[in-house]
Amino acid sequence: MVYFNKKSIDKLEKIYRLNLINSCTGFKSANLIGSIDKDGNNNLAIFSSVTHLGSDPSLICFILRPKTEFRNTYDNILESRFFTINHINKDDIKDAHHTSAKYPKNISEFDKTNLEAVFLNEFIAPYVRSSKIKLGCKYLNEYTIKENSTILIVASIEEIYIENNILKDDGWLRLDEGGTVAINGLDGYVQTELIERFDYARPKK
């Protein structure tokens, strides 16, 4: 086994450490966040930190990198208060990855990729048409993580769109049937396959 301790981790070359630390916590969710500014400029960016926060009320959160450079997603969310979360499916990984490129505010990632913006019902922020699971979210609060100046955004789920067959009778979403991918590190995309689903675990007698 390879062993790293705190001291050797701190001494690692920057990119090596970035890859190591980004992969060592396991697979991450793969989502595109769609947002819009007050002038109607659409924005789309990939995020691997979207996490369920609680189901009653229905909350999600995600981590934003420190505000050391412009962050269109963050600025747009603060302006409009609403944004969308769109699962990345396996056919879209190349374009999804490209949304991490730093485009200025007036250039939309929707115009630089084959990902298509779609506006559903009255929701102000753009969804990704090809995404099979889409959430409409409302910004509620943010918390600065003082250890590294990242920002934890907390939001409520206002609406959910799910493509047929993914939603099962008890509300569970079979994500692998939708082709939703997961992220390995910062640049690896993996396909998923369900192994098994279990009953609610209770202590053994």
Ligand X SMILES: Cc1cc2nc3c(=O)[nH]c(=O)nc-3n(C[C@H](O)[C@H](O)[C@H](O)COP(=O)(O)O)c2cc1C
Residue ranges binding ligand X (CB under 6 A): 43, 45-49, 62-65, 71-73, 97, 100, 102, 183, 186
- Nearest-approach distance from CB 129 to ligand X, in angstroms: 19
How far apart are alpha carbons 18 and 157 in whole angstroms? 31
- Nearest-approach distance from CB 4 to ligand X, in angstroms: 23
How far apart are alpha carbons 204 and 200 in whole angstroms? 12
152 or 167, CB closer to ligand X? Answer: 152
150 or 156, CB closer to ligand X? Answer: 150
62 or 110, CB closer to ligand X? Answer: 62
36 or 175, CB closer to ligand X? Answer: 36
- Nearest-approach distance from CB 165 to ligand X, in angstroms: 27
Neighbours of 204 (CB within 10 A): 4
How far apart are alpha carbons 32 and 127 in whole angstroms? 9
Report yes or no: 176 and 192 within 8 Å, Cβ to Cβ. Answer: yes
- Nearest-approach distance from CB 56 to ligand X, in angstroms: 25
| CB proximity list for 17: less than 8 A, separation 6 or greater | 9
